[in-house]
Structure 1
Amino acid sequence: MVALVSLRAYRRFVVVAYRFLPLIVAYLRDRRRFLIVGRSRQVSRETQRERAAILLETLLTLGPTFIKLGQLLSTRPDILPKAYIEVLSSLQDDVPPAPWAESKLVIEEELGDVDEVYDDFDTEPISGASLGQVYLAEYAGEQVAVKIRRPGIESLVEADLKVLRWSIPILVRFIGEGRAFSLDSLADEFAKTIRQEMDYSRERDILAEIRGNFAGTDAIDIPEPIDPLCSPRVLTMEYIPGTKINEIESLDEKGLDRTELATTLQEVYLQMIIKDGVFHADPHPGNLAVKDDGTIIFYDFGMSSTVDPFIQEKIVEFYIAVANQDIDAILDTLIDMGTLSPTADREVMGNVLELAIADARGENIEQYRVNQIIEQVESTIYEFPLRLPRNLALVLRVATVVEGVCVTLDEDFDFISVATDYLSEQGYREETVKRLATEAGEQVQDTAEALFTVPPKLNRVLDTVERDNLTVNVQIDDENHVLDKLAKRISYSIMVAVGLLSASIIYSFTGQWRISVAILALTLPMVFFLYRSFKQPTGLRARPQFTRQGMRQQRQRDEER
C-alpha cells in the first residue's frame, strides 16, 4: 500500500508541477528572480484576479485534495493577497458523485449488507462533495441521512499530501521570508485538517458535542447521530428537512422574521466560539436551513474546530474594542492573538483601522460591519511576516461568512450591535472590565514593591561599577538587530525609571536633596540615549501604500475598475 501511494505521488508530482508551472513562471517574473532580461513589474488588482481565476481552475482540475487546499488557502490572508482570497472564497466543494456500486462496497465493508442494515436505501445521492456524499435511507421507521466517504479517496489524498510536502521546500526558495514561514507550516496543518475531515468518527463526536451544548435551545436543531450505524467511513444521522437559509422568498412566504433569524444565527456562533470553544466552521447557505417554525438547522460538521481559552478571551476583547472604537485596544488584541507583528508600524496600522471603521459606518455612524474591518486588516496582514494561527483563520472566515448570511437575511443587520448586546447579556463585558481592573491592581502592587526593592539593588550595582568589577557579556543572534535595539530601549527605560523613583524616594523620606540631584544627574544621559533610540528607525516598517493617502488612492482605483 505504501509503495503504491509513493508511486502515485511521483506521477501526481509531475502533473501538479505541470499545472502550476505558468503561475510559478509569472510569479518569478514579477519578483525578477533568475531572469537575464526584463525588470520587475507591479501587478494590478485585475491581473491578480485573472491569476486567481487560473489558480481556481487549476485546483478544480487537480481534484478533491486541491479543492480542499483552495478552501483552506481562502482563510489564509498571510499567504495570499486579498484578490486571491476573494476568488478562492467562491470555491464550492461540489463534484459529481461516485457510482452507487462503489459507495455500496464502503457501507458493506463498514456496516454489513445494505438491505439488512437499513429498511430502505435511496441510491441517488442528495449531495456530493470531494471527500464524501450523502444519501437518504430509512432506519427503524425514521428517515435518516447517510454520509459515505468517497471510495478510494484515502490513497489519492495521501499521495497528494506527499506531493505538497515535496513542493514546500522548493516554493519557499522563491517567496519572502514571512510567507515562507507561513507556507512551511501549511502542509502539516492541511494534512491534519483533511485527515480529520475524512474521519467520520470525529465528525460524529463533534456533532454530538455541539448538539449537547445547545440541548436546551429551541432556536436551532442539529441532527442526532445514529450510533450503531456510524464508523470512520460512514456517518448515519437523523434527517431534518428545511428551507435553505438564503431562499428569501420562501422564508417570507412562511411568515418568518428574517431579522430574528439573523440575530439567532449570530448569537449561536458567538456561543460556539467564545463560550463552548468548539464550533461548526462551514456556515455557507448549503449547510444552513430553516424549519417552518423558524428553527435553524445545521448540516455537515466535517469542517469544525476548537478555540482555546486564551483566544476566546482575546476575541471578546476584540469585539469590545471595536464596539468602543478603541484603535489601540484593537491593535493590542491583534498582536496578542498573533495576527499582527509586534514590530508593525502602529501609526500606519491605526490609520488602516480608522479608515476601515469609517468606511464601514456608512451614513449611520453606529452601523459598521466587522467583516469590512477584517478585510482591511487582512489586506495589510499579507504584507507583514507573520503566521496566522489556523484556528483563528477559521474564526475569521466563519465571522465573515456568517455576516454574509445575516446581511442576506437582513440588509440592515448590525453585526457589532448584536455581538455587543450578547456580550453584555452574558456578562462578558463586565467580566472583562473586572479582569482588566484586577490586572491593573496587580501592576500597581508590583510597582509599589519595586519602589522599595529596586533602590537597594541599584545601590549594589553602582558600588560594583565603582570598584570596576562589573562585567557584561551579551551576544544576540539577530540579523536585523531588532532584539538588540529593543534590549537597549528596555535597559534605558529601566534605568531612567529607577533613577527617577530613587531620587523621589530619597528626597521624600530623608530630605537629602543633594543625593537626589546627583541621582537625577546620573539619569539624564540615560534619558538622552532613550530618546535617541526612538528616533532611529527600527523593526519592520509598513509599505507606503498603507498610509491614509495610499488607502484613498487604492479605493479610487477599485471604484474605477
Structure 2
Amino acid sequence: MALRSYWRFVLVTWNFMPLLLRWLRDRRRYVLFGPSRSITSEERRDRAQQLLDSLLTLGPTFIKFGQILSTRPDVLPPEYIEVLTQLQDKVPPAPWPEAKAVIEDDIGPIEATFDDFDTDPISGASLGQVYRATVDGEEVAVKVRRPGIEELVEADLTAIKWALPLLLYFVDDARAFSLENFADEFAVTIREEMDYGRERDMLVEIRQYYEDDPKIRMPPVVDTHSSDRVLTMEYIPGTKITDISELDAQGIDRTEIAERLTRTYLEMITEHGVYHADPHPGNLAVQSDGTIVFYDFGMSGRVDQFLQEKIIEFYIAVANREVDEILDVLVEMGTLSPDADRQTMAEVMELAIQDARGEEIETWRVQEILNRVEGTIYEFPFRLPENLALVMRVATVVEGVCVTLDPDFDFIEVASDFLTERGYREESIQKILSETGDDLVAATRSSLKIPPKLDRALNRVERESLVVQAEVRDDEGVIDQLAGRIVLGLLVAAGIPTTALLYVESAFPAVWGAVGLTAVAGLWLIRSFTRRKGIRTAPGVADQYFDERQRHRESQESGDD
C-alpha cells in the first residue's frame, strides 16, 4: 500500500504541477519575486478545464473528488465550479470476471443465487457498476462495487494527504482552512459512498416516507442478495426525466412532474431531514403514468433541525424579497461571515435578485441567486459547511431539471406555495410578531430608564468629571501605515532644506549622503501610496459585480440592435 501511495503521489504531483506553477506565478510574477498578477475570467476558465482534464486522467477517486469539489464555492472561483459541474462519473466498466468474483465472494455462486444474470453492465461509474438480473422471477438491479477500488481509493487519499501541504503553499490562509476541511470531508464522503451497507440503510429510511405515495417510487432492497459491496434492488424501468420528446409522446404533463419533483425534495430536506443528494437526470426517471422514480442513493445526506429551520427561513425570505432577512439567514447558516460588509452584501444580493427575475415572466431562478452568492463567497474568505454545500447543490440541480421540463418553471413560487400549505410562512409571521412584541416591551423599559441615566450623565458633564474611553480597532494596520507615511514625509521635508544648506556650505560628501537619504525616503513614500496591500476593502467585489452587470446589459442592448 505504501509503495502504491508513493507512486500515486508522484502521478498527482506530475499532473498538477503545471497548474500549481501558474498559480504560483499569479502570486509572484517571476515565481520567487515580483508583484501579483491579475487573472481574467477566461484564463480561470481555461485553467479549470486543465484541472478537469487532470482529474479525468488520475481516475475514479479524483473524478469523485472533482464532483464534490464542484459543490464548494468557498474553495474554488465560480469559473472552476461551472466547469467542474460538467464532470461526468463515467469510466469503462471493470471486466466481468473481476465483478463476478466480488458478487460470489459476498453473495454466493451466480448460478445458485440468481435465476438469470446479464453480464453486460447497464451503467458504469467510478466506484461501481450496475447489472440486470432475475431473483425469484423478479427483475432486479445489482450494483457491484468496482473490484480493487478500496485499495486505489486509500492510496489516493494518502497521496492527497501528502500533497496537501504543497498545495496549501499556493493559497491564502482562509482558502487553506477550507481546503484542509474539504480534504477531510472528502475522505469521509468517498468511504461512505463505497459502503453499500450505508447506501442500503439510507434508501430504506428515505423510502419509508414515500411507500404510500403512488406517484413516487424508490426501489426496495433485496436483503438476501445485498452486502457492503453488493446492493440488489428491484429493477424499476422508466423514461429519463429529461427525455422531453419521449415524455411528450407518452402524454405526460411535464409541468406537473417538475412541481412534484420540487415538492418532494423540499419535503425531504425540510421535514424528513434525510434526502437523495444526487438528482442529476441519470438518477431520475418517469413512468408512463407520471410516477417519478429515484435511483442511486450512494450520495445522500442528512439535515439537522437547525439547518432545516434556516433553509425554510431562507426560502421564505426569498419569496418575500427581504434582502436583509436573506443575509441574516446566510450568516446564521455559516455561509457568510458575520464580519462581512453588510451594505456591500446587500447591494450584491439585491442585484442578484434583480438579475434572477425574468423579463417576460415573474420567475426567480434559485441557481442564479446562489451563483451570485457563491461568487461572493469566493471573493470574501468565507467557509461553507459541508452539509449546506450539498443542499445548495441539490437545489440548483433540481431546479435545472425542472427548467428543462418546463422553461417557464417558477421554483420559488412552488417553494412558496409548499411552505404556505405546510404553515411555515404563517409560523414565520407569528414569530416576527412575537419578536416585535418583545422588542416593544424592551424599548418601553429602556425608555423609562433613559431619563434618569441621562440626568446623571449631564450632572457629571456639568461637574467636568465625565470620562470617555474609546478603543480603536485597526485590523488592516492602516494607522501604522499612515504613521509611517507621516514619518517619511517629515524626513523628505527636512531632507530638502538640509541638502540645500549643505550644498551652500560646499560639504559635498555630506550633500550626497543627504541626497541619498532624502531620495530613499521619497521613493518609499511614493511606493506606500501606490501599493494596494493593507487598504483592500470588500466594496471592490461589488464594484466588480456592477461592472460585469453593466457590460452584460450593454452586450444585450447591442445584440438587440
- Partner-residue secondary structure (3-state), 2:231: strand
Question: In structure 2, what is the Cα distance between the partners aligned to 1:250 and 1:147?
Answer: 27
Give, in angstroms, the shift of residue 555 of structure 1: 3.4
Question: Unpaired runs of 5+ in structure 2?
Answer: 480-534
Give, in angstroms, the shift of residue 217 of structure 1: 1.4
Aligned mate of 1:206, from 198, 202, 207: 202
Q: Which residue of 1 aligns with 2:526?
A: none
Question: In structure 2, what is the Cα distance between the partners aligned to 1:168 and 1:543?
Answer: 32
Aligned mate of 1:301, from 297, 302, 310: 297
1:352-406 residue CA offsets vs partner (Å, 9 max, x unmatched): 1111111111224731111110000101100111210111101111111100000
Q: Which residue of 1 aligns with 2:524?
A: none
Give, in angstroms, the shift of residue 82 of structure 1: 0.5
Contact 2:19/2:47 (CA < 8 Å) preserved in 1? Answer: yes
1:510-545 residue CA offsets vs partner (Å, 9 max, x unmatched): xxx954743787999799959999xx9999941514
Contact 1:343/1:540 (CA < 8 Å) preserved in 2? Answer: no
1:71-150 superposed matches below 5 A: 71-150=67-146
Letter in structure 2 aligned against 1:259 = T
Contact 2:174/2:382 (CA < 8 Å) preserved in 1? Answer: yes
Aligned mate of 2:43, from 38, 42, 47: 47
1:50-61 superposed matches below 5 A: 50-61=46-57
Q: Which residue of 2 aligns with 1:369?
A: 365
**Identical columns (%):** 56
- CA gap of 1:514–1:260, structure 2 versus 1, over 3 A, is closer
Q: Which residue of 2 aligns with 1:66?
A: 62
- Partner-residue secondary structure (3-state), 2:108: coil
Aligned mate of 1:15, from 6, 11, 18: 11
1:438-497 residue CA offsets vs partner (Å, 9 max, x unmatched): 44555666777xx5xxxxxxxxxxxxxxxxxxxxxxxxxxxxxxxxxxxxxxxxxxxxx7
In the alignment, structure 1 residue 333 sits paired with structure 2 residue 329: yes
In the alignment, structure 1 residue 550 sits paired with structure 2 residue 491: no
Give, in angstroms, the shift of residue 83 of structure 1: 0.6
Letter in structure 1 aligned against 2:549 = R
Aligned-residue RMSD, C-alpha? 2.8
Question: Unpaired runs of 5+ in structure 1?
Answer: 452-496, 508-512
Question: In structure 2, what is the Cα distance between the partners aligned to 1:417 and 1:554?
Answer: 30
- CA gap of 1:310–1:34, structure 2 versus 1, over 3 A, is farther
Contact 1:344/1:541 (CA < 8 Å) preserved in 2? Answer: no
Q: Which residue of 2 aligns with 1:518?
A: 459
- CA gap of 1:441–1:169, structure 2 versus 1, over 3 A, is farther
Letter in structure 2 aligned against 1:199 = D
Aligned mate of 1:310, from 306, 309, 315: 306
Contact 1:81/1:379 (CA < 8 Å) preserved in 2? Answer: yes
Question: In structure 1, what is the Cα distance between the partners aligned to 2:331 and 2:271?
Answer: 22
Letter in structure 2 aligned against 1:518 = N
- CA gap of 1:557–1:378, structure 2 versus 1, over 3 A, is farther
Question: In structure 2, what is the Cα distance between the partners aligned to 1:521 and 1:307?
Answer: 59
- Partner-residue secondary structure (3-state), 2:121: coil
Question: In structure 1, what is the Cα distance between the partners aligned to 2:104 and 2:175?
Answer: 45
- Partner-residue secondary structure (3-state), 2:379: coil
- Partner-residue secondary structure (3-state), 2:232: strand
Q: Which residue of 2 aligns with 1:410?
A: 406
In the alignment, structure 1 residue 182 sits paired with structure 2 residue 178: yes
Aligned mate of 1:196, from 183, 192, 196: 192
- Partner-residue secondary structure (3-state), 2:538: coil
Contact 2:29/2:37 (CA < 8 Å) preserved in 1? Answer: no
Which is greater in Rg? 2
Q: Which residue of 1 aligns with 2:244?
A: 248
Question: In structure 1, what is the Cα distance between the partners aligned to 2:470 and 2:33?
Answer: 48
Q: Which residue of 2 aligns with 1:233?
A: 229
Question: In structure 1, what is the Cα distance between the partners aligned to 2:536 and 2:306?
Answer: 26
Question: In structure 2, what is the Cα distance between the partners aligned to 1:532 and 1:69?
Answer: 41
Question: In structure 2, what is the Cα distance between the partners aligned to 1:558 and 1:52?
Answer: 25
Q: Which residue of 1 aligns with 2:496?
A: none
Q: Which residue of 1 aligns with 2:511?
A: none
Q: Which residue of 2 aligns with 1:359?
A: 355
Question: In structure 2, what is the Cα distance between the partners aligned to 1:281 and 1:117?
Answer: 31
Q: Which residue of 2 aligns with 1:382?
A: 378
Q: Which residue of 2 aligns with 1:396?
A: 392
Question: In structure 1, what is the Cα distance between the partners aligned to 2:327 and 2:430?
Answer: 21
- Partner-residue secondary structure (3-state), 1:136: strand
Letter in structure 2 aligned against 1:279 = Y
Question: In structure 2, what is the Cα distance between the partners aligned to 1:150 and 1:57?
Answer: 22
Q: Which residue of 2 aligns with 1:342?
A: 338
Question: Comparing 24-33 with 547-556, which one deviates more in the overlay?
Answer: 547-556
- Partner-residue secondary structure (3-state), 2:169: helix
Question: In structure 2, what is the Cα distance between the partners aligned to 1:233 and 1:67?
Answer: 20
Q: Which residue of 2 aligns with 1:454?
A: none
Q: Which residue of 2 aligns with 1:435?
A: 431
Question: In structure 2, what is the Cα distance between the partners aligned to 1:356 and 1:382?
Answer: 16
Contact 2:20/2:170 (CA < 8 Å) preserved in 1? Answer: no
Letter in structure 1 aligned against 2:299 = M
Q: Which residue of 2 aligns with 1:321?
A: 317
Contact 1:344/1:540 (CA < 8 Å) preserved in 2? Answer: no
1:426-465 superposed matches below 5 A: 426-441=422-437
Question: In structure 2, what is the Cα distance between the partners aligned to 1:556 and 1:27?
Answer: 32
Question: Comparing 270-279 with 173-182, which one deviates more in the overlay?
Answer: 173-182
Q: Which residue of 2 aligns with 1:217?
A: 213
Question: In structure 1, what is the Cα distance between the partners aligned to 2:281 and 2:292?
Answer: 11
Question: In structure 2, what is the Cα distance between the partners aligned to 1:522 and 1:282?
Answer: 71
Q: Which residue of 2 aligns with 1:474?
A: none
Aligned mate of 2:418, from 414, 419, 422: 422
Contact 1:423/1:429 (CA < 8 Å) preserved in 2? Answer: yes
Normalising by structure 2, we get a TM-score of: 0.84
Q: Which residue of 2 aligns with 1:172?
A: 168
Contact 2:341/2:539 (CA < 8 Å) preserved in 1? Answer: no
- CA gap of 1:545–1:383, structure 2 versus 1, over 3 A, is closer
1:261-305 residue CA offsets vs partner (Å, 9 max, x unmatched): 000000000001111111111101000000000000000000111
- CA gap of 1:528–1:369, structure 2 versus 1, over 3 A, is farther
- CA gap of 1:446–1:213, structure 2 versus 1, over 3 A, is farther
- CA gap of 1:375–1:522, structure 2 versus 1, over 3 A, is farther
Question: In structure 1, what is the Cα distance between the partners aligned to 2:390 and 2:138?
Answer: 35
Give, in angstroms, the shift of residue 188 of structure 1: 1.0
- Partner-residue secondary structure (3-state), 1:138: strand
Give, in angstroms, the shift of residue 48 of structure 1: 1.0
Letter in structure 2 aligned against 1:165 = K
- CA gap of 1:289–1:524, structure 2 versus 1, over 3 A, is farther
Letter in structure 1 aligned against 2:552 = R
Question: Comparing 39-48 with 429-438, which one deviates more in the overlay?
Answer: 429-438
Give, in angstroms, the shift of residue 213 of structure 1: 1.2
Contact 2:457/2:466 (CA < 8 Å) preserved in 1? Answer: no
Normalising by structure 1, we get a TM-score of: 0.84
Aligned length: 500
Give, in angstroms, the shift of residue 176 of structure 1: 1.1
Give, in angstroms, the shift of residue 338 of structure 1: 0.5
Q: Which residue of 2 aligns with 1:467?
A: none
Letter in structure 1 aligned against 2:17 = L
Question: In structure 1, what is the Cα distance between the partners aligned to 2:461 and 2:411?
Answer: 53
